[in-house]
Amino acid sequence: MSRLTRLRGPRPVYILAASLAGGAAYRFSRPASTNASLHPHEFASYILVDKQAVSSTNAIFTLQNAHGVPEPDSVKEAWKRGVWSIEAKQPQLQIARAYTPLPNEAEDEEGHELRFLIRQETGGEVSTYLHRLPEGATIELRGPHVEHELPQDVREVIFLAGGTGIAPAMQVAQALGQRPGCKMHLLWANRRREECKGGISDEPIAEPAAERPSWWRSLSGSGQGDPQEVPVQDRAVVRKGLIVQELDALKKRNQAATQGLSIQYYVDEEKTFIKPGDVAKRLHTENEGLRLILISGPDGFIDYWAGKKLWVDGREVQGPLGGMLSKMDLKNWKVVKL
């Protein structure tokens, strides 16, 4: 999915075009929320109980229902169905943005907590607001909203994730982990190693590429800015980052029940990039059932691999397959842009 602002057709993200005064009036004249438990259309109050930095821009937010109400069955269902999100509100501006809950430990799946990996976008209204909140603050949430339902007959997934696109990838890994016989190959690209400290690929990554692929250039605007040059770390002694630790745990859980989860880490500043060959060599066909290539990340990342998504009649649709994948022989693998 595009990880930046997206106005939803049937479910507008902008709540009210309220002035600041209007926003204040809203806050003081109405209860903070109309629903005690999470609901797709009404906001419910959650408390920010923990915020842990993953990197200089990303943090994991842990939220608990303010009324101590457990999550509704719709959340339990969403975990099984595939990729889903929840909207968080910025109350002064009366706008909301979608965020993707991170899987909890399997035994705590029904959970009394929701966790999100949130990147603070430079100049971003809602992400900056959320990052500035202290622990103990109230955040209004609504959802769940299922973004992509994994078909029942899916057997194998190649997931191309860019940046915070790792969150939906983790949801897919969690859902597939409950379906015996399924297999997932996760290829995760980041600009900086700080997002995936200590992450070691299951297969060695080829020599650093001489040039960045165009999707990074399009993200950096002019394409002139060189990434910060840092040596490849001695990963054996680096303390693993929080998301890497969670990926390791997901891998263990998946190996117990399924054909497993393999993970490749690519880091722009180390000049390692996902290449078409990395996808091609995973396009096996020996497994029965449906095979999917899922892509989630910044718009430029999705465009580069599979072409743009389109808006038709107020709804976002897949659009034709473009980008690198359109030039490859995908056999009978189906592509989904998240």
Ligand X SMILES: Cc1cc2nc3c(=O)[nH]c(=O)nc-3n(C[C@H](O)[C@H](O)[C@H](O)COP(=O)(O)OP(=O)(O)OC[C@H]3O[C@@H](n4cnc5c(N)ncnc54)[C@H](O)[C@@H]3O)c2cc1C
Q: Interface residues with ligand X (CB under 6 A)?
A: 1-6, 85, 97-100, 116-119, 121-128, 147, 164, 167
Residue 97, marked binder? yes
Q: Which residue is nearest to ligand X (CB)?
A: 124
Residue 99, marked binder? yes
Smallest gap, in angstroms, from Cβ of residue 180 to ligand X?
28
Angle at 114 between CA 112 and CA 115, to 5 degrees: 140
Cβ-based nearer residue to ligand X, 1 or 293: 1
Residue 26, marked binder? no
Nearest of 53, 1, 20, 69 to residue 338 by alpha carbon = 1
Smallest gap, in angstroms, from Cβ of residue 109 to ligand X?
18
Strands, E assignment, 54-94: 58-65, 82-90
Smallest gap, in angstroms, from Cβ of residue 281 to ligand X?
29
Angle at 165 between CA 273 and CA 192, to 5 degrees: 45
Cβ-based nearer residue to ligand X, 102 or 205: 102
Cβ-based nearer residue to ligand X, 2 or 258: 2
Nearest of 84, 99, 72, 75 to residue 149 by alpha carbon = 84
Smallest gap, in angstroms, from Cβ of residue 138 to ligand X?
18
Cβ-based nearer residue to ligand X, 161 or 292: 161
Give first-to-last CA distance, the chain, whole Å: 3
Smallest gap, in angstroms, from Cβ of residue 132 to ligand X?
11
Nearest of 52, 121, 127 to residue 298 by alpha carbon = 121
Q: How many CA atoms lie within 13 A of 4 on its CB side?
A: 10
Cβ-based nearer residue to ligand X, 280 or 317: 317
Count of all residues that appear for the chain in the document? 338
Q: How many angstroms separate the Cα of 224 from the Cα of each of 123, 141, 192, 303, 305?
A: 22, 39, 17, 20, 21
Q: Which residues contact 29 (CB under 8 A, 6 or more apart)?
A: none
Maximal C-alpha separation, the chain: 62
Residue 8, marked binder? no
Integer Cα distance of 123 and 135 in angstroms: 22
Cβ-based nearer residue to ligand X, 3 or 192: 3
Cβ-based nearer residue to ligand X, 87 or 270: 87
Q: Compute the Cα dihedral for 264, 121, 231, 241 and give only its sign.
A: negative
Smallest gap, in angstroms, from Cβ of residue 220 to ligand X?
13
Smallest gap, in angstroms, from Cβ of residue 7 to ligand X?
9
Integer Cα distance of 110 and 76 in angstroms: 6
Nearest of 162, 124, 118, 135 to residue 268 by alpha carbon = 162
Which tokens sit at 81? 């169905």
Binding residue numbers for FAD: 97, 99, 117, 126-127
Binding residue numbers: 97, 99, 117, 126-127
